[in-house]
Structure 1
Amino acid sequence: MINLYRKTAVIEGISYLILLFIAMPLKYFFDFPHAVKYFGWIHGVLFLVFFVFLILAAIKYRWSLMRIALYLVASVVPVVPFVLDKKLAEEYPN
């Protein structure tokens, strides 16, 4: 379960970076709004999947509400999901 959550979090983090640093500039600097439309939709679906796996992992590993809140807040701050992924890898080695 933790590996599935970690992979989902990383993919969601990458989609967020693409949305912020590729799709948004395409929309606002190059008048190409389709990038945000499609990457925004993809990112939204990935965020929902991430949220489901976060809840499932939290139930399985009995994470505190504070930890769940930290992971949710971290998911909207660029690059932080990758830092948390490294910490989870250390905490739950294969």
Structure 2
Amino acid sequence: MTTTKPTGIGKLFVAVCLIEGLTWTGLLIGMFLKYTTETTDLGVRFFGPVHGGAFMVYVVVTVLAALRLRWPWWATLIALVAAVPPLVTIPLEIWFKKRGMLTEAPAVR
């Protein structure tokens, strides 16, 4: 495994993974407050739409990154499925970074 710094769309993918994970966290806390403690639904009202938008951006950026960085089909599928369970995009991004999948190959001259 080679750990490399993400470049270009890889950096964008890292940022979107983090945002998607943070909005998931906010939504989970909001759902806890709404359904368990029954104190407020503000977290769900705020983080529901924010997370929905982050999810959609994640899907688009994942497809663009897969095409630009030439991911194999299985990596693209794992990346798309990783957005469904809470907080899986963050370890996925770390794993992809360790595998060198977030760096564009240098142009051949």
TM-score range, shorter chain: 0.7 to 0.9
Aligned length: 93
Question: Rg bigger for which structure?
Answer: 2
Please give the residue correspondences for 1:8-87 in structure 2 after superposition, counting only pairs within 5 Å: 8-20=16-28, 22-28=29-35, 29-87=37-95
Larger relative contact order (CA 8 Å, sep ≥ 6)? 2
Over the matched positions of the two proteins, sequence identity in percent amounts to 34
Cα distance in 1, alignment partners of residues 89 and 56 from structure 2: 15
Larger helix percent: 1
**TM-score, normalised to structure 2's length?**
0.74
Alignment deviations for residues 42-78 of structure 1 (CA, whole Å, 9 cap, x no partner): 0001111111111110110122332222112112223
Gaps of 5+ in 2: 1-8, 104-109
Gaps of 5+ in 1: none
**TM-score, normalised to structure 1's length?**
0.84
